Copies of this chain bind each other. A is one copy, B any other.
Amino acid sequence: MKPILETDSDFICDVQAPCFQTLTNDEVELVRASKTQVLFRKGDNLTKQGTFASYVLFVMKGLARQYIEGDNAKIFNLRIIKPGEFVGLSSVFARNTFNYSSVALTDCQVFLVEKEAIAQIIRQNGTFGLGIIRRYCEQNSNLFDTLRTVMYKQMNGRIADTLLYIDSLKAENPEIFQLLSRKDVADFAGISTESAVKLLKSFEKDGLIELNEKDISILNHGNLTEISRRG
């Protein structure tokens, strides 16, 4: 029973992804030699917090949810992983374990590159390295924002943040809210599921948002932003 791989000829065009555009033929070859491609099915873990990380994942298709786990069963959602993004970059250069878990929200076509290959390419190809640095930088900045939210904002601001964040993905992924449970939304805001449910209702009553089954539409972007700002 062979693993779920696509053919090499598929791969050539896979690497057409923007971030691999600057690679030379040799470098593409290097990536190809140390890559494997895996289909993660909805619900599969892409990474598990604490396990050894000897590779980087690059999501080509599908959406995933990245989160951290505490000692209890409590989880905190960090972001939605979209096609074209790396997972586990951070873990590869510094710590050698993944510092977060992630789970497929839809089937995800992913390819895995061993960290040595990535490191080698960065050494050779500054432009590629720059792209990686940009990602780190942005991720860093997002982490600071998240930290601020968690430290200083309360329920209303947090859920507003969450809604604005998820809504920002809706243009490209209209089904995004369907993929998330109320608990997932609550775990983005870091509040209890029940509080999230109540707040959503209350936001709806105030005409800020509209609830349709699992889907959520933002009606008053301005006010929601203001709530987020005020915390």
The 10 closest A-B pairs by CB, nearest first: A54-B54, A3-B50, A38-B50, A45-B45, A52-B55, A1-B68, A52-B54, A3-B49, A4-B50, A44-B45
Cα A43 to Cα B43 in complex, Å, equals: 9
Cα A39 to Cα B75 in complex, Å, equals: 13
Chain A residues near B (Cβ < 8 Å): 1, 3-5, 36-41, 43-45, 48-52, 54-55, 68-71, 73, 97, 99, 101, 112, 114
In-complex Cβ contact of A99 among B3, B37, B112 (8 A): B3
CB distance from A112 to the nearest CB of B (A): 6
Asked if A112 contacts B38 (CB within 8 A), the reply is no
Cα A73 to Cα B73 in complex, Å, equals: 29
CB distance from A101 to the nearest CB of B (A): 8
In-complex Cβ contact of A97 among B3, B40, B51 (8 A): B3
Cα A156 to Cα B38 in complex, Å, equals: 34
CB distance from A155 to the nearest CB of B (A): 21
CB distance from A154 to the nearest CB of B (A): 21
Cα A73 to Cα B69 in complex, Å, equals: 29
Residues of B within 8 A of A1 (CB): 68, 70, 99
Residues of B within 8 A of A3 (CB): 49-50, 97, 99
In-complex Cβ contact of A45 among B39, B48, B54 (8 A): B48
Residues of B within 8 A of A49 (CB): 3-4, 38
Asked if B36 contacts A40 (CB within 8 A), the reply is no
Asked if A44 contacts B52 (CB within 8 A), the reply is no
Residues of B within 8 A of A68 (CB): 1
Residues of B within 8 A of A70 (CB): 1
**Residue of B whose beta carbon sits closest to that of A3:** B50
Residues of B within 8 A of A48 (CB): 38, 40, 44-45
Asked if B99 contacts A51 (CB within 8 A), the reply is no
**Known contacts A1-B68, A45-B45, A71-B4; is-contact A52 B97 (Cβ 8 Å):** no
Cα A54 to Cα B53 in complex, Å, equals: 8
In-complex Cβ contact of A4 among B4, B39, B45, B69 (8 A): B69
